[in-house]
Amino acid sequence: MKFESYREVKRLKMLKNFGFSKEIKFDQITIPKLKIKKSSCAIFLAQKDDICFCGLPKIEHENSTPKKWDPEMCITENFDTDAYGEIHFQNRDNRSKYIRVGQFTNMEKMMQLLFKVWSLEPPKLIISVTGGAKDFNLKTKLKNAFKRGLVKAALSTNAWITSGGTNVGVMKYVGEAIASASLDPNRKLVVLGIANWGTLANREQLIRDRNTTSTLEYTISSTKIKNNTFLDMNHSHFVLVDNGLYGVFGGEVKFRAKLERQIANYRINNRAQIVVLVLSGGENTISTVLNSVKNGSPCVFIEILYILNIMRPNNPQKLLILPSMSI
């Protein structure tokens, strides 16, 4: 009886934090009720050709002509998200769940989304794949070993796979690994893509109107779009992080790290381990690896060579060379 009372108190406290009434049950929580926001630039300041510093034209803004454009002042999260539900990729049978979220979205709301709205089972392990965001070639032997090993590791440990969610670079290899695996249709593998909304190609196809109830169609083109990438069709779920900037990569990096840690700690008495799998990459990848090591996450490198210029006040030309390593 005490256990039930504790659960009820915890439930009411969480609902109060979200602004819900006490009559709402967890199984009634929906995305609109969670009040997850999107980001938007409220103040226009022209950078060039009537385009704001955020990357959008003047017509997409409420106000204009500040003396200085400052993302902390100009970008707000005042409006509910307008992109969520299910998407269907052309020429594919499967459907993927997705949502657009502001970069400052409360992590408790994200946990409710993942485990209550999307009904996902908490993972015992998170395999976080990071690295090169541009297309690169792997030797056939290494590529095949990567594909087999990734899926086998995930299935044998009840793990989630997380990546940047698009069909370029290391994320594309993750998608190919899932596509080439002969998966039991009754055993769902969670492949969570955490992508940047502002550099997503055809993102307008994911925006719902008030009457949208069906699955939305998402088109992937072979034509490349400058500063934009398409979603990878082999991911099962997408969190599209909106920081209010368009055409600028990297807006999801901090949110992704925070979300992965929150997922790992969801079960207080049975926390999941995060293992970072690094495949190629540059300075942004180095930052991700350093943060992962600081948080106690082991990192596995696959044929990777970095030369990182570490800027220090007393020795700005100091170079740190990390040798090539292979699994």
pLDDT in tens, 40-65: 887 787 877 778 888 888 878 777 66
Predicted confidence at residue 306, as pLDDT, reads: 42
Predicted confidence at residue 323, as pLDDT, reads: 39
Better-predicted residue by pLDDT, 318 or 42: 42
Percent above pLDDT 70 for the chain: 78
Interior/surface letters 206-220, b for 16+ CB within 10 angstroms, e for the rest: beeeeeeeeebebee
For 91-322, the fitting CATH number among 3.40.50, 1.10.3470, 3.40.120, 3.30.70 is 3.40.50
End-to-end CA gap in the chain: 52
pTM score of the predicted model: 0.79
User: Alpha helices of 94-231 — where are they, by DSSP H?
Assistant: 107-112, 140-157, 169-180
Predicted confidence at residue 69, as pLDDT, reads: 67
pLDDT in tens, 113-122: 999 999 999 9
Is-contact 131 281, C-beta < 8 A?
yes
Predicted confidence at residue 305, as pLDDT, reads: 46
- Of 167, 182, 170, 294, nearest to 235 by C-alpha is 167
The average pLDDT across 234-243 equals: 94
pLDDT band at 320 (very low <50, low <70, confident <90, very high): very low
Is-contact 190 251, C-beta < 8 A?
no
pLDDT beyond 60 at 141: yes
The average pLDDT across 182-193 equals: 79
Predicted confidence at residue 262, as pLDDT, reads: 95
pLDDT beyond 70 at 76: yes
Predicted confidence at residue 64, as pLDDT, reads: 66
Is-contact 154 161, C-beta < 8 A?
yes
pLDDT in tens, 80-108: 999 999 999 987 777 899 999 999 999 99
Q: How many residues does the chain have?
A: 327
Mean pLDDT of the residues in the chain: 79
Domain segments of the chain as ranges: 1-35, 37-80, 91-322
Distance set, CA 74 to CA 53, 67, 77 (Å): 10, 12, 10
Better-predicted residue by pLDDT, 270 or 214: 270
Predicted confidence at residue 28, as pLDDT, reads: 56
Predicted confidence at residue 19, as pLDDT, reads: 47
In three-state secondary structure terms, 183 is: coil
